[in-house]
A and B are shown apart, each in its own frame.
Chain A
Amino acid sequence: MNVVDVSRWQFGITTVYHFIFVPLTIGLAPLIAVMQTVWVVTDNVAWYRLTKFFGKLFLINFALGVATGIVQEFQFGMNWSEYSRFVGDVFGVPLAMEGLAAFFFESTFLGLWIFGWSRLPRLIHLACIWIVAVAVNLSAFFIIAANSFMQHPVGAHYNPKTGRAELTSIVALLTNNFARGAVSHAVAGSLLTGGTFIAAVCAWWMVRSHRGTGDDDARTMYRPATILGCLVALTAAVGLFFTGDTQGKLMFHQQPMKMASAESLCDKQTDPDFSILTVGRQNNCDSLTRVLEVPYVLPFLAEGRFHDVKLQGVRDIQRDYQHRFGPGDYRPNLFVTYWSFRAMIGFLLVPVLFALVSLWVTRGNRVPGQRWFSWLALLTIPSPFLANSAGWVFTEMGRQPWVVAPNPTGDQQVRLTVAEGVSSHAPGVVVTSLVMFTLVYGVLAVIWFWLLKRYVVEGPQEHDAEPAPPTPPGADEIAPLSFAY
């Protein structure tokens, strides 16, 4: 194993892992803010209980997102120091802004929200969760703007004197058309995750509550929350469809190799068919058998037309890149890009189906009590997470071998391969850290899952049944704590 491969594995594992928790944070925060707003406005205590219930789940998840996020800030320098030197002038800016304009708000106001129940006036406390909700989305914007520079570098030029990429326009960097699509796509994916999570958990509780105690929680609390979650998930899915379509069309121009690879399109073709199933004995173009195909889809994905669309294949682009950038293998992993792209779309369909089923069984004024429905709800929960991961695996693996993919219409010198960007550690050093990350992260993932499960199964708690009376600080020297770690 060479240091590039080990470092890539480490970055891949730590980043995919981090992004299990982040979409749930980004998606849940605004929905919890909505729940709390409904409670504050209507004084309906069901929404207070929902806010507290999902607030706890949110915090369990948030902790691990923050903890693994610390690694993200430093591992560019640790493992990709040549990359950091080459792009720091550009790439560092959105990262620093993320800290200044998003993380500070997010962490500070979340602390106020957790400990400020009944301490802060109601509206100020409500404002805290809204600030958190806006800040987590803002942080998604900054970090994806940074990532988009790796996919489609704009707003920068190559300075031969310093031998690195330098920022020429912050506005261009932050309004990168790739970033606009990617941010809205990732936020929609997060809302899908958050909406599905709320819908599925509440659907499960609705059935349980309806069959069990027979109290009216099922009707007054879980049913409206299930419907809210479903509507958010469906809206997000529509958003994903359109933003994903925009992204795809951009990538056919900006990173043709990624899309050719995702379609396992090996040679130049006019109006190629969209492949649904391809089998290959080896992971390359020579051994592909295309099993199932549909016409018209691919030309539409690429250009928005059904006819007269010429697409370059992997082999053509490889020849072209060798001509432009010198000898080398510019093909991403065919198997991974092909299947991650399909997994992303496939896993998206599960929550959509679940949301439609949920809206159907709750139609009119119905409260469902079918056991199969509660099982369906639980089985749906992992899907949006898997779709998020698959999407990132696709877009990052499809970028290979580049760490900064050349922009076809930009400065051709602003480009760097992964192999050029890596820190020159001994492979053993990185293997050691990789093993440690895997072990620690593995243990934490088990605890995270178990805690979430424990809290979901327990449901809204007794002590959260009624909002506590306000306890303003007053003149007392000792704090009247309503909550403590």
Chain B
Amino acid sequence: MTLHQLWFGVLAVLFLGFLILEGFDFGVGMLMEPLARVGSGDPESRRRAVLNTIGPVWDGNEVWLITAGGAMFAAYPGMYATVFSSLYLPLLAILFGMIVRAVSIEWRGKIDDPKWRRWADFGIAAGSWLPALLWGVAFAVLVRGLPVNAKHQVHLSVTDVLNAYTLLGGLATCGLFLLYGAIFVALKTSGPVHDDALRAATWLSLPVTALVAGFGMWTQLAYGKTWTWLVLAVAVVAQLAAVALVLSRAHEGWAFLCTALVVTAVVVLLFGALYPDLVPSTLNPQWSVTINNASSSPYTLTIMTWATAIFAPLVMVYQGWTYWVFRQRISADRIPPSIGLARRAP
């Protein structure tokens, strides 16, 4: 295996780390408002119970994206340059979403005022729905290919970004993250919020299964390799297992792991469909951005391999430890009172 090939795998793992962790963060953000409104109990305590399931970890989860971006820059500068300049506007929307979400989560409890919280809740919702949808669109756009010219530049038209396949991709990731988030909330809470999260997962399970299967099938038929059939099969089996576990109200931990496996399989399917291209050219296959023509020099890739081999396992250990420290469930009736300040000084 050459370093060019190895780094395709490393990049896939970094994006996988991002989507597998931030996936349920997005789901939690999207479900915060709906879960507060249904069921019994004070909506504000329910909202906070849902939000605090990701409280200590969401920021660390997001670093997987930053690192994936940095690694793409270092390992495949050609890909970094082409992808981010051509998908300028969708990426901008994702960035604004993530900016607004970050400050909303961090600032929400700082002021004890209903209007203030409504704005923060809007920021969290918008900052979760938008990226959840747009990451699916973005990956589908990449797999489908862009009008890359011989100089690896792209002159984009709207239909390159928005078409039936990419929209299905967006809906599939959005739906999958909703289900994933609902199961995560069920795993991390107790009491009425827990029951309602499971109910939400139940409602979501069939439509999400249809969306994921549809998107997976389309990807496989149009862009897949022979071996990715196996990946698609894993995705479908894991999805069905997750649905069965949700419907039977059985072990939530296993349901969560099965959904995480679905996310994994979808990411592997997308990257598998892409390989060995990084950005396939729809104009001429000769012009595609590939792992060979867009990669860094062997020296740089070697350095990056060492850095990743040392730090990535370490990151997994201490992030894993964080999840262990905050392993207990959260209950809406045990949420401490808000310590935010009043809007005006008394």
Q: How far, in whole Å, are A464 and B147 apart by their CA atoms in the complex?
A: 59
Q: Please tell me if A433 contacts chain B, counting CB pairs below 8 Å.
A: yes
Q: Enumerate chain B residues within 8 angstroms of A114, measured Cβ to Cβ.
A: 55-56
Q: Please tell me if A291 contacts chain B, counting CB pairs below 8 Å.
A: no
Q: Which of A75-103 contact B (CB under 8 A)?
A: 76-79, 81-82, 84-85, 87-93, 95-101, 103
Q: How far, in whole Å, are A463 and B75 apart by their CA atoms in the complex?
A: 49
**Is A485 within 8 A of B55, CB to CB?**
yes
Q: How far, in whole Å, are A254 and B297 apart by their CA atoms in the complex?
A: 27
**Is B329 within 8 A of A478, CB to CB?**
yes
Q: Which of A101-155 contact B (CB under 8 A)?
A: 101, 103-105, 107-112, 114-116, 119-120
**Is A89 within 8 A of B109, CB to CB?**
no
Q: How far, in whole Å, are A374 and B51 apart by their CA atoms in the complex?
A: 40
Q: Please tell me if B52 contacts chain A, counting CB pairs below 8 Å.
A: yes
Q: Which of B310-335 contact A (CB under 8 A)?
A: 311-312, 315, 318-319, 322, 325-331, 334-335
Q: Enumerate chain A residues within 8 angstroms of B56, measured Cβ to Cβ.
A: 111-112, 114-116
In the complex, how many residues of chain A place their beta carbon closer than 8 angstroms to a beta carbon of chain B?
84
**Is B63 within 8 A of A103, CB to CB?**
yes
Q: Enumerate chain A residues within 8 angstroms of B48, measured Cβ to Cβ.
A: 484-485
Q: Enumerate chain A residues within 8 angstroms of B109, measured Cβ to Cβ.
A: 484-485
Q: Please tell me if A320 contacts chain B, counting CB pairs below 8 Å.
A: no
**Is A88 within 8 A of B296, CB to CB?**
yes
**Is B98 within 8 A of A479, CB to CB?**
no
In the complex, how many residues of chain B place their beta carbon closer than 8 angstroms to a beta carbon of chain A?
78
**Is A79 within 8 A of B69, CB to CB?**
no
**Is B345 within 8 A of A98, CB to CB?**
no
Q: How far, in whole Å, are A168 and B299 apart by their CA atoms in the complex?
A: 7
Q: Enumerate chain A residues within 8 angstroms of B63, measured Cβ to Cβ.
A: 99, 103-104, 107-108
Q: How far, in whole Å, are A482 and B334 apart by their CA atoms in the complex?
A: 10
Q: Enumerate chain A residues within 8 angstroms of B91, measured Cβ to Cβ.
A: 74, 78
Output the residue of A74, A87, A433, A482 with the most chain B CB within 10 A. Answer: A74
Q: Please tell me if A167 contacts chain B, counting CB pairs below 8 Å.
A: yes
Output the residue of A63, A69, A93 with the most chain B CB within 10 A. Answer: A93
Q: How far, in whole Å, are A81 and B85 apart by their CA atoms in the complex?
A: 6
**CB contact between B307 and one of A82, A101, A480, A483 (< 8 Å): that residue:** A101
Output the residue of A66, A96, A454 with the most chain B CB within 10 A. Answer: A96
**Is A79 within 8 A of B85, CB to CB?**
yes
Q: Which of B256-315 contact A (CB under 8 A)?
A: 296-297, 299-300, 303-304, 307-308, 311-312, 315
Q: How far, in whole Å, are A480 and B319 apart by their CA atoms in the complex?
A: 21
**Is A99 within 8 A of B71, CB to CB?**
yes
